[in-house]
Structure 1
Amino acid sequence: MAIIILFACIITLVLLIAWARVNTFLAFLIVSVMAALLLGMPLNRIPQAVNKGLGDTLGSLVIIIVLGAMLGKLVAFSGAAQKIATVLKNTFGYKYVTWAMSLTGFIVGIPLFYNVGFVLLIPIIFSVAYSYKVPLVYVGLPMLASLSVMHGFVPPHPSPMALVSQFHADLAKTFAYGTIVAIPAIIIAGPVFASTLKNMQSSPTIILQADQLTDEELPGIGNSIISSLLPVLIIGGATLTARIFGDNTGIKNIAGFISEPAIAMILTMCIATCTLGLWAGKTLSTVMGIYAEAVKDIAMILLIIGSAGILKQIFVETGVSTQMASILQQLSLPPLLLAWLITAILRLSLGSATIAGLTAAGIVYPLMGPYGPDPNLMVLAVGAGSLFCSHVNDTSFWLFKEYFGLSMKQTFLSWSLMETLVSVIGLIGVLILSEVLRQ
């Protein structure tokens, strides 16, 4: 019965937003409370679950998203995004622009969490799309496919790192195997799939494309790239420092502090305010005005993301996702396939890739043992499952939809289908790699 209620709630949410045109934030609140009541949650626990879901979700994301939006707006209005787009255009040309975007997302996605990478790279996507006069989805999806794959498959991202620990896998092998599996997933779900979306038009309400500047007004390419990708450099440099000086507790603690995404973003904003703002001739009040506009742009996105966290929390606390996973565990399937399937179902139910992966790990851990599957491949199987079919209960779904100005139907046909391709291709890659390693 609980499973039926879960799917009924998700369908109701889609209908409220797509058919009845109810405000997305309100629709999430209504469906979340409805789900809690139908699933038998005690009345006194419902407000607590609502507050916890909203607070936990925004608590971990709000600083990153807000500061990322500020940086993105500055990158756009300073001309840095235009400069990067111009260099990409001249280097790769129109024919290979989607491959260039995938490569950028792959490199940036190694050290950077998805949400940070999204808000950091979105102005570059807008600028490239404007420069080539092509749909946003066509140039944006390949880059975001790379970011998503790296977030779900390889350390040091939260879910893969935790799974490596839980399955007692080897970090270096998992990274190597994950990269091997990630490349075909990125290619097929990125440039190849994007080629089918050339005619998908959008109506973005968030304007990240500033007026085109002359070549003399643009910042240098070095300044543009370094300032735009500074969070990557800070996090990557601090992480590397912590590994090199792992025996020095003081340096390790400082590097660990700096490598936290929120701290890295704060440092980035202080530096970028100078490199792309004050030192480029802008007044401090002008830069602060750019930041204020950025916050206005993403206010509703933050509310939607927070409300998606409420629905996830209701499903977690009522135990409905665990019930579904327990049923699937009874199926007679190969361990890697079963791990992927359980994680995919949890992803459909909960929305969060990280939570789906960590929840699945506890369920499939009994499958491990002396004669069980390779633990490194088990990490990748769970990681692939955690990316399956992102939809209305996933914060990334709404980030993509709102920034790109798409309808619900368009978002399902682009973002959700891309995530499904990534997940399925990842599973196929894991199964093939498993057979190769057995030889």
Structure 2
Amino acid sequence: MQMLILLLGIILLLVLIIKFKLNTYVALIITAVAVALGLGMPAAKIATSIQNGIGAQLGELALVFGFWAMLGRLVADAGGAYRIAHTLINAFGRRFLQLAVVLASFIIGIALFFEVGIVLLVPIVFAIAVEAGVPLLTLGIPMAAALSVTHGFLPPHPAPTAIATALNAQTGHVLAYGIIIAIPTVLVAGPLFSKIAKKYVPGAFERTGNLTALGPQKTFKLEETPSFSSAVLTSLFPVILMAIATIYQMTLHAGVAPKNPSGLDNFIAFIGSPSIAMLISLLFAMWAMGIRRHIPVKDIMSSLEEAVKSIAMLLLVIGGGGAFKQVLIDGGVGNAVKNLFIGSDISPLILGWLIAVVLRIALGSATVAALTASGLVLPLMQQAGVNSALMVLAIGAGSLAASHVNDAGFWMFKEYFDLSVKETLLTWTVLETLIAIVGLGGVLLLSLFI
């Protein structure tokens, strides 16, 4: 019965978003209330469950996402992304253009939202493709692969950070394992897949793109942008801080927090916690991308304000996803899933991935799919003793699969590269599914050693 209520809830969510064009946050809350009633939760406790879900989900995430969005906006407004891309492409040369695009997109993708990253990189990729005389998609697919992988696997991006919070996983471990899995995933779904795609959908590689779909673009003079080292350091600063804390803990304390921490232990844990790492990184970005370059403080503050506006709805959607997840847990759906698979030979990691894939196909939003999946697999994960960081990555990989017409990323890729719907399905949708499959393979391989 509980599984039927869940199915009906997902159908309701789809109808509200797709048919009635309801705002995703509002649709999530309405669905959460409807599912709670269907599961027989006391009406007086439904509001409390929803509030707890939103509060638990956004507690630390509001800090992390807010600071991260501000840092990304500072890097973008200063021309840091422009500098990174041009420097790497010039350094690698025409023969290794794809690898240059992958590396540039990976670095930029860590600091920026997927949507912002693609808007900044597409004009650069267009210009380089024309100059080098290569098909646009030859560079566009590796760019999209790198941006998608960072979006799905690596904190401080919304989905992996939110799932880590929901599953009580250490963000540093998610980041470390995520980078290990991300590298081969990007190479397979990027440069390798582009060669295969060119053979079975050659028409897509003849397209010249559509820059007008991007709207007005800010132009930069290379000599007026930050230095390459400054732009890269600023983009990767939060990753560096969290990596230092993770390596320190895993090297000296076998990955377990010490019972009697020293002053150094406390300091490393402090700078490595996601919220503090992001705060320190933002302060560094304000100096490196602004004050050091003699940018007026009011202009720096303007960038920060615009960054906050850009994530306001995302935060609400993540909060709504947390509310839906909490209702599923409080209503017993998570335990129903656990009982359904007791004695099953299916790995909880594969199950978490499959649930995320189904929700992604149905809902479109990778973040909402990931959060809903985390609520369903939490009891199962606890029972099976699965590594929580690996479960985060399994769900994150599944949440990227089979992007199609209900996903904004699908339409962005279609419009920017001037593809037909069929060509987009054969390139973008296959690309995202490849990332999901290779990512799961990496998770399962790592699980043999962790």
Structure 2 length as normaliser, TM-score?
A: 0.70
**Matching residue of 2:370:** 351
Consecutive unaligned residues of structure 2, counting only runs of 5 or more, are 127-135, 198-203, 360-368, 416-420
Q: CA deviation at 1:233?
A: 2.1
Matches within 5 A, 1:25-40: 25-40=25-40
Q: 8 Å contact 2:149–2:186 — kept in the other structure?
A: yes
Q: CA deviation at 1:121?
A: 7.5
**Matching residue of 1:167:** none
Change (3 A) 1:103 1:329: farther
Q: CA deviation at 1:95?
A: 7.5
Q: CA deviation at 1:265?
A: 1.0
Deviations 1:2-32 (A, max 9, x none): 1122122112212221222112221111111
**Matching residue of 1:132:** 125
**Matching residue of 2:309:** 296
Matches within 5 A, 1:94-173: 99-100=99-100, 102-103=102-103, 117=110, 119=112, 123-133=116-126, 138=141, 139-146=143-150, 148-149=152-153, 158=164
Q: 8 Å contact 2:145–2:432 — kept in the other structure?
A: no
Distance 2:447 2:65 in 1: 38
Q: CA deviation at 1:194?
A: 6.8
Matches within 5 A, 1:211-290: 211-241=218-248, 249-290=262-303
**Aligned CA-pair RMSD:** 4.6
Farther-moved stretch of structure 1 (56-65 vs 242-251): 242-251
Distance 2:218 2:97 in 1: 22
Change (3 A) 1:145 1:75: same
**Matching residue of 1:41:** 41
Deviations 1:129-185 (A, max 9, x none): 221236898423323325634679x9xx959x9789xxxxxx9xxx89x88766544
Distance 2:28 2:343 in 1: 33
Q: 8 Å contact 1:81–1:123 — kept in the other structure?
A: no
Q: CA deviation at 1:289?
A: 0.9
1:324 aligns with 2:337: yes
Distance 1:300 1:94 in 2: 41
Q: 8 Å contact 1:189–1:422 — kept in the other structure?
A: yes
Distance 1:77 1:180 in 2: 30
Q: CA deviation at 1:94?
A: 7.2
Q: CA deviation at 1:237?
A: 3.0
Instruction: Look up the SS of the partner of 1:26 in the other structure.
Output: helix
Q: CA deviation at 1:307?
A: 1.0
**Matching residue of 2:399:** 390
Change (3 A) 1:315 1:137: farther
Q: 8 Å contact 1:321–1:346 — kept in the other structure?
A: no
Q: CA deviation at 1:42?
A: 0.8
**Matching residue of 2:347:** 338
Change (3 A) 1:404 1:126: same
Structure 1 length as normaliser, TM-score?
A: 0.72
Q: What is the one-letter code of the residue matched to 2:123?
A: Y
Q: CA deviation at 1:84?
A: 0.7
Distance 1:105 1:50 in 2: 37
**Matching residue of 1:3:** 3
Aligned length: 394
Distance 1:327 1:227 in 2: 47
**Matching residue of 1:361:** 381
Q: CA deviation at 1:52?
A: 1.1
**Matching residue of 2:321:** 308
Q: CA deviation at 1:309?
A: 1.2
Distance 2:65 2:106 in 1: 20
Distance 2:326 2:31 in 1: 12
Deviations 1:25-46 (A, max 9, x none): 2111111111111111111111
Q: 8 Å contact 1:189–1:418 — kept in the other structure?
A: yes
Q: 8 Å contact 2:89–2:101 — kept in the other structure?
A: no
Distance 1:162 1:55 in 2: 15
Change (3 A) 1:49 1:124: same
Distance 2:408 2:26 in 1: 17
Q: What is the one-letter code of the residue matched to 1:359?
A: P
Q: CA deviation at 1:432?
A: 7.9
Q: CA deviation at 1:252?
A: 0.7
Distance 1:61 1:203 in 2: 35
Q: What is the one-letter code of the residue matched to 1:44?
A: A
Q: CA deviation at 1:186?
A: 3.8
Q: What is the one-letter code of the residue matched to 1:85?
A: A
Q: What is the one-letter code of the residue matched to 1:364?
A: A
Q: What is the one-letter code of the residue matched to 2:16?
A: L
Consecutive unaligned residues of structure 1, counting only runs of 5 or more, are 110-116, 165-170, 366-374
Q: What is the one-letter code of the residue matched to 1:344?
A: W
Distance 2:377 2:87 in 1: 38
Q: CA deviation at 1:102?
A: 4.6
Q: CA deviation at 1:417?
A: 6.5
Instruction: Look up the SS of the partner of 1:282 in the other structure.
Output: coil
Farther-moved stretch of structure 1 (252-261 vs 189-198): 189-198
**Matching residue of 2:418:** none
**Matching residue of 1:371:** none
Change (3 A) 1:356 1:424: farther
Q: 8 Å contact 1:143–1:190 — kept in the other structure?
A: no
**Matching residue of 1:76:** 76
Change (3 A) 1:101 1:17: farther
Change (3 A) 1:421 1:67: same
Instruction: Look up the SS of the partner of 1:329 in the other structure.
Output: coil
